[in-house]
Amino acid sequence: MNAFLSVLWIAVGFSLCVGSAVAQFVSKSPGFESSLLGPPAEWTGDVFKANYAFPSTTEDMSSQPWMILDPRKPRERDQYYAAVLSYGLTAFSGDIFDGCTASGAGWYHAPWMTLSFGNSPSEVAIGKIGSGREPICGLTQERPAPQGYLHTKQTRDKVQSWAVGVFNRPGGYVLGQIWRDQWTADMSDLKYPDGTFIVKFLFTEATELEVPYLKGSPTWKANIYKQEGSIIRETKPMRLIQVDFAIRDKRMDFQTGWVFGTFMYANPDGSTPAHWSKNLVPVGVMWGNDPGKTNSLSFTEQALNPLILKMRDDKLLFDLTKRHDFGWKDRVNGPVDNPDSSCLSCHGSAQVHRRDNIKQFITPVLKPGAASDANKMLWFRNIKAGETFVFTKEELGLIDQRTPSKVRADWTLSNMSEFISTDYSLQVRMGIENSRAYANLLAIAAVNRLKQQSPKAFTNKATVLDEVDAEYKRESRQIERAGTHLK
């Protein structure tokens, strides 16, 4: 994508000689705002405030129960889940049953999630920020739920999902090292220390009538889109449906170095427990992708919760004619997630190119005739912490890098040699991509402004700059957003 940028930056350099018109564009980083939208006119409550005050040192988490208890041991798994959930809920300063509260002490937000890839300064100025953080609770848009993916009564298609993710102190330390400069990521060390804990709370716009097991779920108000694909926003109630966690745990270095898992809010009988969190039922936990295995009974690097499987098989959860498995071949994945993937498989593809924005598919995309289970395993390898998700020359021959939607991937031997892992963090990957894209569009906007002010100075450059702008707009639509594309 950035092959044309040398021309662009020459033009920007020229513009700086003409005057200081660029300065007004770069006074403040939009990636470090809490939200690029103000509260809706009718909103009188508190608004979201991101915590970007990253710590200058990390913290030893070795005494935390979720670093002592071992999820690989069935007899310790229930205690492990309880410890994970107890710690994860400290991400907020108070009970979240009746709405979002301020973030808890020692929890931090990823920068540059305030807009979507390709949003220009002119779009941001009029509130067009795509999946970026809404202003009330700081939720960002996730993959919508196709019809029946949440429950048999969910007859509406593409039900919106929105989420907020936070990092504990070790994770916040890494965020601070990456974003020393609020405009340009430092990619010299993107590996997370042992004990990093990332938790994400996912909400759905589905009602209790559409998804009966959500009865009694914490409900937040959020300023989201009127419907999937709309540009009109309205403030809607959003129900907690899923809580994801990711833990950097060196005990798992033989597989991936990470433990991923998810809980779902499941209250199929409509009971009223002592506390709503009692209805957050573990879906499962995984520390590896069980490469090469297609029978869930043979899995040894993950475990789905038998209770949640019984709910599924008793038809209390999603429509079994629309989906059956949580993840691919019943690997661990949440109800909102793409069943063609898994928690670790999806996040194992988190990486960036050293200089350019890359395009890649996080679920298997294979050429006609090559879409066997054996070849799909290319997406279910155990990528170790800090390693990149790449292919050999022979493997590249199996991959369809252009889909019917004309979104293509950028997997080439040359490109892959310059990939840098973002260590299982898709938020960091997206943040880097968003910051690069915005900086490029900022420069284009500055040059176009100067073209209007001094058209004679750009007589011989106008055609080239117009081509640069058009090429960028074409390319900006070809980034595969993590988990947002439906089949």
Q: Lowest-pLDDT range, 94-98, 320-324, 360-364, 445-449? A: 445-449
pLDDT at 459: 63
Q: Which residue has the higher pLDDT, 200 or 405?
A: 200
pTM for the model stands at 0.91
CA atoms of 376 and 366, how far apart (whole Å): 8
Q: Which of 12, 387, 418, 433 is CA-nearest to residue 185?
A: 433
Q: Is the pLDDT of residue 25 over 60?
A: no
State the burial class of residue 405 (Cβ atoms within 10 Å of its Cβ: 0-12, 13-18, 19+). exposed
- Which of 215-219, 452-456, 458-462 shows the highest mean pLDDT? 215-219
Using one digit for the tens of pLDDT, what is the confidence trace for 157-181? Answer: 999 999 999 999 999 999 999 999 9
Mean pLDDT, the chain, rounded, equals: 89
Q: What is the DSSP string of 441-487?
A: HHHHHHHHHHHHH-GGGGTTTHHHHHHHHHHHHHHHTT---TTT---
Judge residue 435's burial from the number of C-beta atoms within 10 Å of its C-beta, 0-12 exposed, 13-18 middle, 19 or more buried. Answer: buried
For residue 11, pLDDT beyond 80: no
Nearest CA-CA partner of 330 in 313, 347, 314, 316:
313
Q: pLDDT tens digit string along 269-291?
A: 988 888 999 999 999 999 999 99
Distances (CA, A) of 108 to 20, 92, 169, 277, 363: 35, 11, 7, 22, 29
Is a pLDDT exceeding 50 seen at residue 320?
A: yes
One-character DSSP codes across 391-434: --HHHHTTB--B-TT--B----HHHHTTEEE-TT-HHHHHHHHH
19 pLDDT higher than 70: no
